[in-house]
Amino acid sequence: MIEFRAAASDGLTADAIVVGVGEGRRFDATGAALSEKMPWLSAHLDEAEFTGKVGQVAVVPGGDAVPYRKVALAGLGPAPDVEQVRRAAGGAARSLSKSVTVATSLHRAVPAAAEAVGGGFVLGAYTFTRHKTEKKPSAIATVVLIEGTPAEVAAAAIGGLVGDGVNLARDLINEPAMEKSPATLAARATAIATEFGLGIRILDEKQIVAERLGGLRGVSLGAANPPRLVELRYEPPGATAFLAVVGKGIVFDSGGLSLKTADNMETMKTDMSGAAAVFAAIRTIAALRLTVKVVGIAPLTENMPGGAAMRPGDVVRARNGKTIEVLNTDAEGRLILADGLSLAAEQKPDLILDLATLTGAISIALGEKIAGLFGTEDAVEAVAGAAAAAGERVWRMPLPDDYRKNIDSDVADMKNTGTRYGGAINAALLLKEFVGDVPWAHLDIAGPARAGEAEHYIAKGGTGFGVRTIVELARRMG
Closest CA to 21 of 83, 87, 88: 88
- pLDDT at position 1 is 87
Angle of helix 467-477 versus helix 150-174 axis, rounded to 10: 130
- pLDDT at position 63 is 81
Residue 429: φ, ψ to 5°: -65, -35
Handedness of CA 423, 429, 430, 435 (dihedral sign): positive
445, 465 contact by CB (below 8 A): yes
- pLDDT at position 282 is 98
Is 260 an annotated catalytic residue? Answer: yes
Residue 126: φ, ψ to 5°: -70, 135
Write down the catalytic residue from 26, 69, 233, 260: 260
Write down the catalytic residue from 334, 415, 432, 468: 334
- pLDDT at position 453 is 96
Q: What is the CATH number of domain 3-162?
A: 3.40.220.10
Task: Give pLDDT < 70 ranges for the chain.
Answer: none
Question: What are the DSSP calls for 434-454, one per residue?
Answer: TSTTS-EEEEE-TTTTEESS-
- pLDDT at position 64 is 86
Check: pTM over 0.85? Answer yes or no.
yes
Three-state DSSP class for residue 86: helix
Distance of alpha carbon 446 from alpha carbon 423, whole angstroms: 13
Instruction: Enumerate residues 6+ apart whose C-beta is below 8 A from 405.
Output: none
- pLDDT at position 65 is 85
Q: Which CATH superfamily is domain 175-477 in?
A: Zn peptidases (3.40.630.10)
Domains of the chain: which residue ranges? 3-162, 175-477
Distance of alpha carbon 325 from alpha carbon 451, whole angstroms: 33
pLDDT (tens digit per residue) in 216-259: 999 999 999 999 999 999 999 999 999 999 999 999 999 999 99
